[in-house]
Amino acid sequence: MTARSVSTGERRARLASRHLLAPTTRATTPEAVADALVALHSTDAATVYLSALARMAKPDTGDVERALYDDRTLVRMHGMRQTLFVFPRELAAVVQASTTRELWGKERALLVKNARDGGLDDAWVEAVEAATVAEVRRRGSVTGAELGKAVPALRDQVLYGKGTKWETWQPASGRVLRVLGFDGAITRGRPVGSWLSSQHRWEPGVGHADMPVPEAQAALAREWLRAFGPATEADLKWWTGWKVTDARRALKAVGAVEVVLEVGIGWLLPDDLEPQEDVEPWAALLPGLDPTAMGWQLRDWYLPDELRPQLFDRAGNVGPTVWWNGEVVGGWAQRSDGTIATRLLRDVGHEAAKAVESEAERWQGILGETRVTPRFRTPLERELGEAG
């Protein structure tokens, strides 16, 4: 049987529909957005809100805050590629078992080494972890500074990079809290400040995931293919941070079907092979680190190589992007006076330019008096933001 071909045009139409970017596909809740995208990047606290607002029919930061901190239907935790994400609560156990648990082992081993290099023993590590978790559970919600006062051992010094030019002494608190977060013993709660703050209170976590790793990896691969397929094996390996053998095993476990892409071989779920219908023309302004822009390793089909130097920082973080019909065509920024400034980096015609202008006006209404500066500045975002 000949494998079905999926054109770049069809992939872009699927992206518009699956990622809720065409106006008629927008969601009513942030939970629906997170479910559609599997995960929202949270390295920059603003991204969670902006990615959700971009895809909501009636954007409201209060709805996102409700889901994160009142209803707890969205959970913030480390996951793929040791990156901080926000997941649907029902997916947290899958991510923890498939990905985060292994990362926890590496993070804790490093903590133990840093402690030993600083003259502290393994018993110290176990004691400070237990005391920290107990204090978080006792108080329910607590800042890092408050924990430092309540658990004196968190102020002990550990030695990073012993014997290297980066060798330095630092308080143990940052490493201990990070390890406990990977473990699921504690989790990040409400921010200390506005929704733009990256400093969060600590609360009791979701706990360990009681799920076999292969089963969890298959479940995560299924969710990802539903949102990002068709995609290549390399895309799945990169997005998850798994070994190639894990990615291949997961694709086999879900019965992924081979399809022919313009960039090579891709995969779809066996119940998701029907051709995607075209969607109406659409424009979108997506924030830095948005899950759509960062969703695939092989990006040529939606993000031309020649645009990348202006839209990415040196570490590979994407900045705010302008989209037209499934392709990145420019960038944008918010200036200090609240104006949304855009720049098209290629000629996409009058219809596209008007649609982008309309979307910029929509964003000005969404943000109002709020001023957002991306945590990771890119050349075009910096230029646009500082102009005018």
pLDDT tens-digit map of 133-175: 999 999 999 999 999 999 999 999 999 999 999 999 999 999 9
Per-residue model confidence (pLDDT) at position 261: 97
Per-residue model confidence (pLDDT) at position 183: 92
Examine residue 60 and state whether it is found in any structural domain, yes or no.
no
Examine residue 172 and state whether it is found in any structural domain, yes or no.
no
Dihedral sign computed on CA atoms, order 367, 371, 375, 377: positive
Residue 208: pLDDT above 90?
A: no
Assess contact for 197 and 191: CB atoms under 8 A: yes
Q: Which residue has the higher pLDDT, 263 or 141?
A: 141
Cα Rg of the chain (Å, integer): 22
Examine residue 358 and state whether it is found in any structural domain, yes or no.
yes
Residue 117: pLDDT above 70?
A: yes
Average pLDDT over the chain, rounded to whole?
95
Examine residue 310 and state whether it is found in any structural domain, yes or no.
yes
Which one, of 306, 310, 320, 333, lies nearest residue 379 by Cα? 310
Q: Which residue has the higher pLDDT, 136 or 278?
A: 136
Per-residue model confidence (pLDDT) at position 263: 84
| Average pLDDT of the residues in 75-85 | 94
Which one, of 98, 100, 60, 65, lies nearest residue 83 by Cα? 100
| Average pLDDT of the residues in 74-92 | 94
Assess contact for 47 and 289: CB atoms under 8 A: yes
Which one, of 8, 69, 58, lies nearest residue 33 by Cα? 58
CA distances from 372 to 29, 93, 322 (A): 22, 32, 17
CA distances from 349 to 36, 257, 324, 345, 354 (A): 30, 37, 10, 12, 9
pLDDT tens-digit map of 7-64: 999 999 999 999 999 999 999 999 999 999 999 999 999 999 999 999 999 999 999 9
**Domain span at residue 361?**
303-386
pLDDT tens-digit map of 350-360: 999 999 999 99
Per-residue model confidence (pLDDT) at position 138: 97
Residue 388: pLDDT above 80?
A: no
Examine residue 316 and state whether it is found in any structural domain, yes or no.
yes
Q: How far is CA 169 from the centre of its chain?
A: 30
% of the chain at pLDDT higher than 90: 95
Q: Which residue has the higher pLDDT, 208 or 157?
A: 157
Residue 387: pLDDT above 80?
A: no
Rounded Cα distance, 244 and 329, in Å: 32
328 CB-near residues (< 8 Å, 6+ apart): 293, 302, 303, 304, 307, 311, 321, 322
Query: pLDDT tier at 274 (50, 70, 90 boundaries)?
Result: very high
Per-residue model confidence (pLDDT) at position 210: 81
34 CB-near residues (< 8 Å, 6+ apart): 40, 52, 67, 74, 86, 87, 88
Phi, psi of 268 (to 5 degrees): -130, 155
**Tokens standing for 256?**
């992924």
Examine residue 369 and state whether it is found in any structural domain, yes or no.
yes
Residue 207: pLDDT above 80?
A: no
CA distances from 200 to 69, 129, 226, 288 (A): 11, 19, 31, 20
Assess contact for 94 and 216: CB atoms under 8 A: yes
How many domains does the chain fold into?
1
| Average pLDDT of the residues in 97-126 | 95
Per-residue model confidence (pLDDT) at position 142: 96
pLDDT tens-digit map of 164-201: 999 999 999 999 999 999 999 999 999 998 999 989 99
Amino acid at 105: G
Examine residue 219 and state whether it is found in any structural domain, yes or no.
no
Instruction: Name 333's bridge partners.
Output: 341
Per-residue model confidence (pLDDT) at position 206: 75
217 CB-near residues (< 8 Å, 6+ apart): 98, 99, 240, 242, 246, 249, 250, 253
Q: How far is CA 258 from the centre of its chain?
A: 27
Query: What angle, 0 to 180 degrees and rounded to 10, lies between the N-to-C axes of helices 173-183 and 122-139?
Result: 70
Examine residue 14 and state whether it is found in any structural domain, yes or no.
no
Per-residue model confidence (pLDDT) at position 1: 63
**Tokens standing for 333?**
């920024």
